[in-house]
């Protein structure tokens, strides 16, 4: 069996398993997290809270997080999805009706996961406590994308890698933040 065939089969098995084994309480909780993360509302809200309550460190973390998020969204939604055109997981793999409420865009990579990973990875070095709190939520966003049938596990892994790479790029960008926001 080729490597591609193994990846496809693993994607299928994990997607079906995650979609079928989520109980009603967990399913509702995951749906609520997805609703909050839709359109990056969750991360923008976190940035506002950090900027208002964290002083200079909070503002620096918020700016870094939002810059990384913007880069991740640009690359994932503006470039990768347009280039790949990967269809979403088949509807018959998902045993719940949430599968009918998913985007029509390409499945690869997961933009929700890219945003979550980018924001979290950029905030963590700037304000470790806030980054740790974000790190509690980011994997839940990623898991929900597979459980809902919106993405394959490989879409989520690619989104997470893209998000971390975006945070890395933002942290290494020359003159990345206005002088008054630096430590």
CA distances from 161 to 114, 121, 165 (A): 7, 10, 6
Measured CA to CA, the distance from residue 175 to residue 67 in angstroms comes to 13
Model confidence at 178, in pLDDT bands (50, 70, 90)? Answer: low
The dihedral formed by the CA atoms of 94, 99, 103 and 104, expressed in degrees to the nearest 10: 70
pLDDT for 47-100, tens place per residue?
A: 999 999 999 999 999 999 999 999 999 999 999 999 998 988 888 877 766 666
pTM for the model stands at 0.87
pLDDT tens-place string over residues 121-152: 999 999 999 999 999 999 999 988 888 888 99
Give the number of C-alpha atoms closer than 13 A to the C-alpha of residue 138, restricted to the C-beta side: 30
Query: Which tokens belong to 70?
Result: 């913007």
């Amino acid at each position: 069996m080729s490597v591609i065939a193994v990846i496809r089969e693993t994607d299928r098995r994990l997607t079906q398993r995650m979609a079928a084994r989520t109980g009603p309480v967990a399913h509702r909780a995951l749906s609520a997290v997805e609703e909050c993360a839709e359109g990056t509302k969750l991360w923008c809200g976190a940035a506002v809270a950090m900027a208002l309550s964290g002083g200079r460190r909070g503002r620096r973390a918020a700016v870094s997080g939002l810059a990384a998020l913007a880069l991740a969204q640009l690359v994932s939604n503006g470039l990768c999805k347009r280039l790949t055109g990967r269809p979403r997981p088949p509807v018959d793999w998902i045993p719940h009706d949430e599968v009918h409420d998913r985007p029509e865009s390409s499945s690869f990579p997961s933009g929700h996961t890219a945003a979550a990973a980018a924001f979290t990875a950029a905030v963590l070095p700037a304000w470790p406590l806030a980054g740790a709190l974000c790190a509690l939520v980011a994997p839940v966003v990623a898991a929900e994308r597979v459980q809902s049938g919106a993405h394959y596990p490989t879409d989520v892994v690619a989104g997470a890698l893209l998000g971390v790479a975006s945070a890395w790029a933002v942290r290494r960008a020359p003159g990345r933040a206005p002088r008054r926001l630096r430590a």
